[in-house]
Amino acid sequence: MPNKVKYGLKNVYYAIITESNGVVSYGTPVAIPGAVNLMLSPVGEKVLFPADDQVYFEENINNGYDGSLEFALIPDSFRINVLGDTEDVNGAIIENANAAVKKFAAMFEFDGDVKKTRHVLYNVLPTRPKVEGTTKPSTNTKEPKTESMDISVRPALDTSDVKAKVLQGETGYDTFFSAVYLKDAPTNTADDPADFSKAGSDDVTVDVTSTSGSNTVKSVYMDGLPVGFAHLSITGVDVTLANAYIDTLENGDHTILIEFTQGNAVSVTLTVGA
């Protein structure tokens, strides 16, 4: 069934862009709760070259989009990580005129999309959010105010790709929000490792399958915290965590997230017992 309308913006994520010697990389996507609205208008121009008493050459230039993102409340973490605000020793969030705003990739989907399509914008630069507030009316009713920021969406710095979308059931859909989707990117998969017993002496190995033969491990996280490479043994894309390190974890389920230089990250669950 084709889409007739789109509504219900949700699952908005941002992944900070870094560039070194012309190489672009994207950080791990971070969710921004409370998405309300996204508006984008195309930016570009039509080039016409007349000759021989006719339009001799015609071309449309794609400079991306301009628009806005609206949220119930923009988190302080976004203000610090992207907009360059700082937090002082007293916990105050401070905006400085000399702060450098970071570019990011934006990822999202629409609840009303029957195809459940997921989208990514590869190069987004935000402005400072608008500040708005009103006094409570005499009727004692309350009207929530949202926060919005203007954004410019431009072609990616390395590939010139502006945006991409992945439909449900296609390669990369299930792992879409774990890493920024890149064109022709390899697919990485992994199964949960065997349960770990503190009474034993075995290490924990996560067996990973990648469609790229040149892929390598970039980083490993345990419950959101980076695992030092002193605790890891890496063979290709397979990751082994040392017994002594796992022994320090509390009993129960733990999440291991592995990021790669190519393709999506993988997340598995490790159950630790006595």
The pairing of beta strand 196-197 with beta strand 266-273:
parallel
Residue among 130, 113, 131, 144 at smallest CA distance from 10: 113
Total number of domains in the chain = 2
Domain presence at residue 235: yes
Query: How many Å apart are CA 115 and CA 2, to the nearest integer?
Result: 8
Asked whether the beta carbons of 14 and 82 are under 8 A apart, the reply is yes
Do 157 and 40 fall into the same domain?
Answer: yes
Do 27 and 118 fall into the same domain?
Answer: yes
Burial readout 7-41 (b: 16 or more C-beta within 10 A, e: otherwise):
eebebbbbbbbeeeeeebebbbbbebeebeebeee
Do 129 and 203 fall into the same domain?
Answer: no
Domain presence at residue 15: yes
Tell me which residue range forms the domain holding 211. Answer: 188-273
Whether residue 115 has pLDDT greater than 80 = no
What is the tens place of the pLDDT at every residue in 132-149?
A: 666 666 666 666 678 899
What is the tens place of the pLDDT at every residue in 208-267?
A: 999 888 899 989 999 989 999 999 999 999 999 999 999 999 999 999 999 888 888 888
Do 123 and 259 fall into the same domain?
Answer: no
Domain presence at residue 171: no
pLDDT of residue 5: 43
Distances in whole angstroms, Cα of residue 198 to Cα of each of 204, 205, 238, 250: 11, 15, 22, 10
Do 28 and 103 fall into the same domain?
Answer: yes
pLDDT of residue 20: 78
What is the tens place of the pLDDT at every residue in 61-78?
A: 888 999 999 998 899 999
Write the single-letter amino acid at 85: D
DSSP 244-257: HHHTTSPSEEEEEE
pLDDT of residue 13: 96
Do 117 and 196 fall into the same domain?
Answer: no
Asked whether the beta carbons of 192 and 268 are under 8 A apart, the reply is yes
Do 118 and 58 fall into the same domain?
Answer: yes
Q: Tokens for 179?
A: 């890493």
Do 88 and 213 fall into the same domain?
Answer: no
Domain presence at residue 2: no
Asked whether the beta carbons of 31 and 109 are under 8 A apart, the reply is no
DSSP 217: E
Residues β-bridged to residue 66: 41, 152
Domain end residue (candidates: 107, 132, 166): 166
Do 125 and 65 fall into the same domain?
Answer: yes
pLDDT of residue 268: 93
* Residue whose token pair is 């990616």: 156
Domain presence at residue 182: no
Domain presence at residue 140: yes
Q: Tokens for 212?
A: 């790229």
Domain presence at residue 265: yes
Domain presence at residue 207: yes
Do 151 and 215 fall into the same domain?
Answer: no
Residues in the chain: 274
Range 106-112 average pLDDT? 86
Do 151 and 268 fall into the same domain?
Answer: no
Residue among 84, 87, 110 at smallest CA distance from 6: 110
CATH of the domain at 220: 2.60.40.10
pLDDT of residue 261: 84
Q: Which 3 state secondary structure label does DSSP give 181?
A: coil
pLDDT of residue 265: 82
**Residues 6 or more apart whose Cβ sits within 8 Å of residue 259:** 28, 179, 217, 218, 219, 220, 221, 265
Q: How many other C-beta atoms can be found within 10 angstroms of the C-beta atom of residue 83?
A: 20
Confidence band for 12, pLDDT divided at 50, 70 and 90: very high
The maximal CA–CA distance of the chain, rounded, in angstroms, is: 87
Which has the minimum average pLDDT: 15-24, 41-50, 153-162?
41-50
Q: Please give the mean pLDDT across all residues of the chain.
A: 87
Do 138 and 203 fall into the same domain?
Answer: no
Confidence band for 175, pLDDT divided at 50, 70 and 90: confident
